[in-house]
Amino acid sequence: MIRHMLAPALALLAATPAAAQEALSLDARVNEIFAQATGPFVNFIFAPFYGTNFPWIVMWLVVAATVFTLYFGFVQFRFFGHAIRLVKGDYSDPEDAGEVSHFQALATALSGTVGLGNIAGVAVAVGIGGPGATFWMILAGLLGMASKFTECTLGVKYRNEYEDGTVSGGPMYYLSKGFRELGLPGGGFLAVLFSIFCILGALGGGNMFQANQAHAQISGIVGDYPGWITGLVFAFVVFLVIVGGIRSIARVTEKIVPFMGILYVGAALIILIVEYDKIGWAFGQIFAGAFSGLGVAGGLVGALIQGFKRAAFSNEAGVGSAAIAHSAVRTKEPITEGFVSLLEPLIDTVVICTMTALVITISGQLIMDPETGRFVLDEAGAIATVDGNTGVALTSAAFAEGISWFPYVLAIAVVLFAFSTMISWSYYGLKAWTYLFGEGRVKELVFKLIFCAFVVVGAAANLGPVIDFSDAAIFSMAVVNIFGLYFLMKIVRRELGSYSKRLRGGQIVAYKS
């Protein structure tokens, strides 16, 4: 139906077969130039350890999350209940009513992370690494809670509060100020480096990947058409919001996105309840695949790499982006936002990503050899799927097995998630941009126009180069951020010790019981 309704509009845009051919070849040219330009950067970030196929960047993230977990004594579990009470507002001073609450800071950060990573990213992980990737994804999510705690505490502690009442925070501020406070050199350099990578991350994972997958989803429903058309439409709407200041569009999205998130989780739950008899089998696949690989490329290591990669891409723990979003909260105790932020990887990865993975596993979309119980691989080395789907199309097909009309809802959800993530990342990128070049209307406009242009490139390019660049850009932020966190984590431990003591001693009391 929708295909028929949109067909005339698309026909107008690609009036003749020759024009359509030219348009598609334009996509191919954009893709080729983009892949060539970003190749060396991508290759460096994903370079494996010598003699192995294990990317050093994945190890970098996992080791950091493990170090923070141990260093803070499993803070993600010890303070989980306290984090919930903070989000509920039990410790919020009534005098601060009207300021940014813990819930609002968390919700804003989540709107930048919950999205395509949970829908398309998980499908990529499970499609290449098999169901076993889910196990490593959950583990990465649990460990990543400690990374998020560390960076968000610092984000609030070292934010800039300007005279006009606005705030700016994030790794660029805590790297420069924190290092200076400790008398360490190089903080300013790290802040600049982080800002450069943050701009690339904003243009990659926060923009191109979103536009790319939104186009894949729309063309899956209305039929194939050139990606730059989706790109132009998206770029125009993003332009209206971030340049035109038309906040009503962003406001409507802010209201709908949480609803779509609940709808997505609800649909996954319904499918899991209906297929409850397969849940035990699916978890069996997840555990078996986690340690044996069940025939996926790279075996155990292949599943592990995919799980860790996609978890990091989805929840952004250690990347530093969340520290920008969380830094606006109103609190006298920076560490309280750290506690709240540790819920983010839990919701994003442990809950939502796991649900997506279970639905895909149960759906039977991944082709398995019934005789050997191992997955059948396609020419590219990924697991063969029933209709050859990858990414968001695989998730869509998996949900359609349970709820036939759900792909339409998912398409709307993907477009809205993509849009809200773009708006969030345009802000993160802008903060990094203004850190480098200073504030000012013209300087900000330049970044915003570049951001809009990349929407078109992202929608026109193929998934492969876009996803590689997006991952590389996001992970390069983590290289700088985590390096800095190792030096600054003792400040967080001091805050944690002081807060715990006062909480136990009754000096910090709840306003609501």
Partner 1 sequence: MTTKLVVGLDGHASGERALDFAVNQARLIGDCGLVVAYVIEWSPFSFHSAEENAQRHKRREEEISTVMTRVIEPAVRKLEKLGLSVTGKVRHGDVADTLNAIAKEQKAAQIIVARSSEGGFSSRIFGSSTFNLVKSADLPVTVVQ
Site residues (vs partner 1, CB under 8 A)? 89, 92, 94, 97-105, 107-109, 111-112, 164-168, 247, 250, 254-255, 257-258, 324-325, 328-330, 423-424, 427-428
187-196: Cβ within 8 A, 24+ apart: 187/484, 190/480, 190/483, 190/484, 191/435, 192/435, 192/436, 193/480, 194/320, 194/432, 194/477, 194/480, 194/481, 194/484, 195/432, 195/433, 195/435, 195/436, 196/432, 196/436
Least distance (Å) from partner 1 to the CB of residue 455?
Answer: 17
Q: For residues 94 and 280, which CB has a smaller minimum distance to partner 1 in the complex?
A: 94
Q: For residues 256 and 368, which CB has a smaller minimum distance to partner 1 in the complex?
A: 256
Least distance (Å) from partner 1 to the CB of residue 319?
Answer: 15
Q: For residues 258 and 298, which CB has a smaller minimum distance to partner 1 in the complex?
A: 258
Residue 371: CB partners within 8 Å, gap ≥ 6? Answer: none
d(CA 106, CA 399): 28
Residue 138 one-letter amino acid: I
d(CA 326, CA 35): 34
**Which residues is 375 bridged to in the sheet?**
368
Least distance (Å) from partner 1 to the CB of residue 205?
Answer: 16
How many other β-carbons are positioned within 10 Å of the β-carbon of residue 133?
Answer: 33
Q: For residues 26 and 249, which CB has a smaller minimum distance to partner 1 in the complex?
A: 249
Q: Is 93 helix (H, G, I), strand (E, B) or coil?
A: coil
Q: For residues 109 and 125, which CB has a smaller minimum distance to partner 1 in the complex?
A: 109
Q: For residues 40 and 438, which CB has a smaller minimum distance to partner 1 in the complex?
A: 438
Hunting for tokens 């984090």 — which residue is that? 83
Least distance (Å) from partner 1 to the CB of residue 76?
Answer: 23
Least distance (Å) from partner 1 to the CB of residue 334?
Answer: 16
Residue 418: CB partners within 8 Å, gap ≥ 6? Answer: 115, 116, 210, 211, 213, 214, 234
Helix axes 391-402, 406-437, angle to 10 degrees: 150
The end-to-end CA distance of the chain, in Å, is 54
Least distance (Å) from partner 1 to the CB of residue 392?
Answer: 24
Q: For residues 86 and 457, which CB has a smaller minimum distance to partner 1 in the complex?
A: 86
Q: For residues 66 and 434, which CB has a smaller minimum distance to partner 1 in the complex?
A: 434
Q: 378 and 384 in contact (C-beta within 8 Å)?
A: yes
Least distance (Å) from partner 1 to the CB of residue 78?
Answer: 25
Whole-angstrom CA distances from 129 to 148, 264, 296, 512 are 25, 23, 6, 46
Q: For residues 10 and 100, which CB has a smaller minimum distance to partner 1 in the complex?
A: 100
Least distance (Å) from partner 1 to the CB of residue 468?
Answer: 27
Least distance (Å) from partner 1 to the CB of residue 207?
Answer: 15
Q: What are phi and psi of 368, to 5 degrees?
A: -120, 140
Q: Report the largest interatomic distance among the alpha carbons of the chain, rounded to a whole angstrom.
A: 76
Q: For residues 188 and 258, which CB has a smaller minimum distance to partner 1 in the complex?
A: 258
Least distance (Å) from partner 1 to the CB of residue 316?
Answer: 13
Q: Is 326 helix (H, G, I), strand (E, B) or coil?
A: helix
Q: For residues 13 and 449, which CB has a smaller minimum distance to partner 1 in the complex?
A: 449
d(CA 296, CA 289): 8
Least distance (Å) from partner 1 to the CB of residue 277?
Answer: 37
